[in-house]
């Protein structure tokens, strides 16, 4: 069986967007499925990680076509290198920045990669006419890639599966975009058309499935996951009581309640003040840094910019406690950050600030891998941190997680393979 995978994010892209399909492509051949990858020839990725190139087998056929990136032009007007694709929207843009945001939001629907749709359909129509492919898979965001799948399905009758790594109109920053009413309706119309007409839908959480079932009953939940990493010899835990967050920390994800609780503990407990260190690995929004300063936490914080994925694994394994902060947005219950699965592999206790009745909380509960505290529960948050700190002082801070292997990338790929083969 042979499948064509259409993805914007592909090595040397770094960050979370590339991991899902890089791993699927790695393991699909073990289940008798040969992947062909179609991606961009000249992308402008916000984050690069050259080390991921090593994970692509020489036998994988990779097709590339150039893309026109209008974001490059818009950045000239916004004066700042505002990389919205890296998870940030400028909170105080200049006048020209506001104009650029407005243009991007209302004239590039569903997103700025819309100009890749037409040439891709032309190129892939020719390719599919000359090569046997059993199914086409599109993965978004960017959701414009789903329009490629839709048009190929309508034109050639090819079986098409749409994979949603994130929601479309329910994504955490959608409500922040300066969209007109007409533009919102256009997004909703395209989303419903894609979801209803695809032969199959794959999503990463149960909440996403529930939201899309009104359009399509053929929906499969395949979460993100973790992969087997090279053994790191003699990893020693951090000597300090470290709270480690890996990934983007944008304004919506800013856990103000945590900064307040930490400031109180540091002010009241000299031992805690001496032992504690917060490590923020990845890009941090200016608003987050401002709040950290406000609570006088800077002497206890170590900022580490983006590091290659293989180094991230080591930071996670050395952490005393791993921090997850879910965006405080209307769809927070459905947010399952991909980082939770790599945290599972690190086998260190987790502290998640997130809805206690959300999809993320269910995963942490069933794996017995940590504690979830609701956004506004300062008392519970303090209790959890104090309990972790007490265990750290007694040299028995550990976690006894279970049921984690279901989230291994190989097992998740088996689930995908069964879906692909079911209707083959």
Mean pLDDT of the region 172-188 = 91
8 A C-beta contact, residue 301 and residue 292: yes
Residue with tokens 């800013």: 254
Q: What is the DSSP string of 170-235?
A: TSTTGGGS---HHHHHHHHHHHHHHHHHSSEEEESSHHHHHHHTTT-S-EEE----B-PPPP-TTP
DSSP state of 90: -
Q: What is the strand order of the sheet 301-304 is part of?
A: 301-304, 276-281, 241-246, 321-325, 350-353, 370-373
Q: What is the separation of C-alpha 246 from the centre of its chain, rounded to a whole number of angstroms?
A: 12
Residue with tokens 């920390």: 249
Kindly report, residue by residue over 145-164, the tens digit of the pLDDT.
999 999 999 999 999 999 99
- Predicted local confidence at residue 113, as pLDDT: 94
Mean pLDDT of the region 76-98 = 56
Please give the backbone phi and psi of residue 353, each rounded to the nearest 5 degrees, phi first.
-105, 105
Question: How far, in Å, CA of 204 to CA of 220, rounded?
Answer: 9
Question: How far, in Å, CA of 64 to CA of 211, rounded?
Answer: 33
Question: How far, in Å, CA of 111 to CA of 171, rounded?
Answer: 13
The least confident of 49-58, 208-217, 227-236, 353-362 is 227-236
Question: Does residue 69 surpass a pLDDT of 80?
Answer: no
Question: How far, in Å, CA of 213 to CA of 131, rounded?
Answer: 33
Kindly report, residue by residue over 269-287, the tens digit of the pLDDT.
999 999 999 999 999 999 9
8 A C-beta contact, residue 143 and residue 194: yes
Confidence category of residue 173, pLDDT binned at 50, 70, 90: confident
From its phi and psi, is residue 229 left (phi > 0), alpha (psi between -120 and 50) or beta?
Answer: beta
- Predicted local confidence at residue 230, as pLDDT: 63
| Residues in Cβ contact with 131 at an 8 Å cutoff, skipping those fewer than 6 apart | 2, 36
Domains located in the chain, CATH noted: 2-70+108-225+409-422 (3.40.50.2000), 241-405 (3.40.50.2000)
Kindly report, residue by residue over 97-141, the tens digit of the pLDDT.
788 888 888 999 999 999 999 999 999 999 999 999 999 999 999
The H or E element spanning position 78 is helix 71-78
Question: Does residue 84 surpass a pLDDT of 50?
Answer: no
- Predicted local confidence at residue 85, as pLDDT: 44
Question: Does residue 87 surpass a pLDDT of 80?
Answer: no
Rounded to two decimals, the pTM is 0.88
Confidence category of residue 78, pLDDT binned at 50, 70, 90: very low
**Closest to 255 (Cα-Cα) out of 93, 373, 387, 86:** 373
Question: How far, in Å, CA of 252 to CA of 351, rounded?
Answer: 18
Higher per-residue pLDDT: 28 or 93: 28
Question: How far, in Å, CA of 323 to CA of 243, rounded?
Answer: 6
Question: What's the half-sphere exposure (Cβ side, CA atoms, 13 Å) at 129?
Answer: 8
Mean pLDDT of the region 294-315 = 91
| Residues in Cβ contact with 85 at an 8 Å cutoff, skipping those fewer than 6 apart | 45, 46, 71
How many other β-carbons are positioned within 10 Å of the β-carbon of residue 310?
14
Mean pLDDT of the chain: 91
8 A C-beta contact, residue 180 and residue 106: yes
Question: How far, in Å, CA of 195 to CA of 136, rounded?
Answer: 15
Please give the backbone phi and psi of residue 281, each rounded to the nearest 5 degrees, phi first.
-105, 115
């Amino acid at each position: 069986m042979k499948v064509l995978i259409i993805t914007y994010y592909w090595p040397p892209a770094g960050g979370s967007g590339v991991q899902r399909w890089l791993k699927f492509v790695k393991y699909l051949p073990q289940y008798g499925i040969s992947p062909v990858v179609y991606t961009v020839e000249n992308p402008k990725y916000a984050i690069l990680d050259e080390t991921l190139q090593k994970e692509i087998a020489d036998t994988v056929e990779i097709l590339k076509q150039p893309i026109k990136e209008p974001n490059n032009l818009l950045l000239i007007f916004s004066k700042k290198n505002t990389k919205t694709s890296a998870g940030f929207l400028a909170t105080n843009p200049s006048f020209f920045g506001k104009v650029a945001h407005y243009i991007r939001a209302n004239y590039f629907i569903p997103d700025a990669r819309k100009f890749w749709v037409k040439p891709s359909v032309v190129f892939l129509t020719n390719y599919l006419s000359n090569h046997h492919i059993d199914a086409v898979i599109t993965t978004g965001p960017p959701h414009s890639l789903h329009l490629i799948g839709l048009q190929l399905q309508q034109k050639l009758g090819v079986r098409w599966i749409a994979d949603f790594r994130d929601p479309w109109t329910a994504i955490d920053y959608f409500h922040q975009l300066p969209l007109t009413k007409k533009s919102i309706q256009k997004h909703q119309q395209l989303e419903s058309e894609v979801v209803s007409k695809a032969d199959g839908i794959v999503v990463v959480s149960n909440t996403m499935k529930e939201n899309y079932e009104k359009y399509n009953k053929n929906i499969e939940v395949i979460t993100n996951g973790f992969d087997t990493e090279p053994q790191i010899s003699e990893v020693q835990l951090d000597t300090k009581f470290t709270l480690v967050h890996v990934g983007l920390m944008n304004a919506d994800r800013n856990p103000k309640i945590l900064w307040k609780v930490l400031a109180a503990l540091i002010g009241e407990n000299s031992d805690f003040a001496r032992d504690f260190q917060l490590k923020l690995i990845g890009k941090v929004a200016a608003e987050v840094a401002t709040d950290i300063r406000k609570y006088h936490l800077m002497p206890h914080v170590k900022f580490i910019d983006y590091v290659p994925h293989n180094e991230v694994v080591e930071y996670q394994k050395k952490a005393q406690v791993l921090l997850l902060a879910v965006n405080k947005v209307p769809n927070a219950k459905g947010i399952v950050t991909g980082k939770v699965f790599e945290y599972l592999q690190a086998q260190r206790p987790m502290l998640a600030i997130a809805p206690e009745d959300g999809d993320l909380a269910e995963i942490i509960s069933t794996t017995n891998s940590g504690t979830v505290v609701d956004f506004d529960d300062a008392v519970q948050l303090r209790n959890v941190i104090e309990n972790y700190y007490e265990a750290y002082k007694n040299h028995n801070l550990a976690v006894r997680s279970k049921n984690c292997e279901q989230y291994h990338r190989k097992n998740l790929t088996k689930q995908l393979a069964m879906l692909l083969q079911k209707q083959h």
